[in-house]
């Protein structure tokens, strides 16, 4: 679920965007699109503020963060919803009437080039959604009757894993292992840990 997080009203944020020279808007939007493509994480706000100040535009970090959040939100929305450049520009126009025609044309141009790439990445991510292990609990038990243990009164390990899917929804997975199965499980985790240490 996408959430737009800005500290002030929509028109106020767009007014800040419109204060910027068009080449600086293009550069800023391109950085946002490339970050989304590369999934490199956050935009460097200090560096962005410095660029704005060198261009003679004094915006504080909150204002710059609002610009980044607004445009990142719409670029993500466009990628997730497979919006055409016309549809994205229409959504921005509905959001705020303060967007100038040259800024919307710039968004149209950039989205025409980068939108399809972002959408295909979004589809790949949704197809390859992998949950995150949140918690793991285990307990040692004694089998009284089992179809996998050959003899009664043999020990087993019961494991409960809490897994959060990509939407944040938690699910629980449980399984039981015999001692030899657990030893193999442990050995594999130990191998993964040693490989991770070399990275």
The one-digit pLDDT tens for each residue of the chain (199 residues) are 566 667 678 899 999 999 999 999 999 999 888 888 876 656 788 888 888 999 899 888 889 989 988 998 899 889 888 899 999 999 999 999 999 999 999 999 999 998 888 888 777 766 666 677 888 898 988 867 656 656 567 788 888 888 877 666 778 888 888 888 888 888 888 888 888 777 6
- Establish if 3 belongs to a structural domain: no
Cβ atoms of 56 and 21 within 8 Å: the answer is no
- Establish if 133 belongs to a structural domain: no
Number of domains in the chain: 2
Query: Across-strand partners of 140?
Result: 157
Residues 117, 154 share a domain: no
Residues 148, 119 share a domain: no
Residues 107, 73 share a domain: yes
- Establish if 183 belongs to a structural domain: yes
- Establish if 192 belongs to a structural domain: yes
Residues 182, 90 share a domain: no
Q: How far apart are CA 34 and CA 40, in angstroms?
A: 8
Residues 112, 15 share a domain: yes
User: Final residue of a domain: which of 106, 128, 150?
Assistant: 128
For residue 118 the two structure tokens come to 């972002």
Residues 158, 123 share a domain: no
Residues 120, 28 share a domain: yes
- Establish if 161 belongs to a structural domain: yes
Question: What is the biggest distance separating any 2 CA atoms in the chain, rounded to whole angstroms?
Answer: 80
Residues 144, 117 share a domain: no
* Residue 110 exposure: Cα atoms within 13 Å on the Cβ side: 26
Task: Give the containing element (helix H, strand E) for 197.
Answer: helix 179-198
**Per-residue model confidence (pLDDT) at position 16:** 92
Residues 95, 34 share a domain: yes
- Establish if 99 belongs to a structural domain: yes
Q: Looking at the whole model, is its pTM more than 0.75?
A: no
Cβ atoms of 79 and 122 within 8 Å: the answer is yes
Query: Across-strand partners of 157?
Result: 140, 177
For residue 173 the two structure tokens come to 């997975």
For residue 180 the two structure tokens come to 């030899």
Phi, psi at 140, each rounded to 5°: -95, 130
Look up the domain containing 115 and give its range: 9-128
Q: Alpha-carbon dihedral of residues 102, 108, 114, 117, nearest 10 degrees?
A: 170
Q: How far apart are CA 66 and CA 80, in angstroms?
A: 21
For residue 139 the two structure tokens come to 């307990």
List for the chain the helix, strand, coil content (%; round to 5): 60, 15, 25
């Amino acid at each position: 679920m996408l959430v737009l997080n800005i500290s002030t009203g929509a028109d106020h944020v767009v007014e800040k965007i419109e204060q910027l020279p068009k080449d600086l808007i293009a550069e800023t939007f391109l950085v946002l699109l490339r970050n989304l493509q590369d999934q490199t994480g956050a935009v460097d706000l200090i560096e962005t503020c410095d660029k704005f100040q060198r261009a003679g535009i004094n915006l504080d970090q909150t204002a710059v963060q609002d610009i980044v959040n607004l445009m990142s939100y719409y670029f993500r929305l466009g990628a997730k919803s497979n919006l055409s450049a016309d549809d994205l520009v229409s959504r921005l126009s509905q959001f705020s009437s303060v967007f100038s025609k040259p800024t919307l044309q710039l968004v149209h141009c950039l989205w025409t080039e980068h939108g399809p790439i972002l959408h295909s990445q979004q589809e790949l991510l949704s197809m390859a959604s992998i949950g995150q292990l949140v918690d793991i609990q285990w307990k040692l038990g004694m089998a009284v009757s089992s179809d996998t243990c050959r003899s009664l009164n043999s020990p087993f390990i019961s494991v409960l894993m809490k897994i959060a899917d990509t939407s944040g929804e938690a699910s629980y997975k449980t399984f039981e292992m015999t001692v030899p199965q657990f030893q193999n499980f442990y050995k594999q985790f130990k191998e993964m840990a040693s490989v991770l240490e070399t990275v």
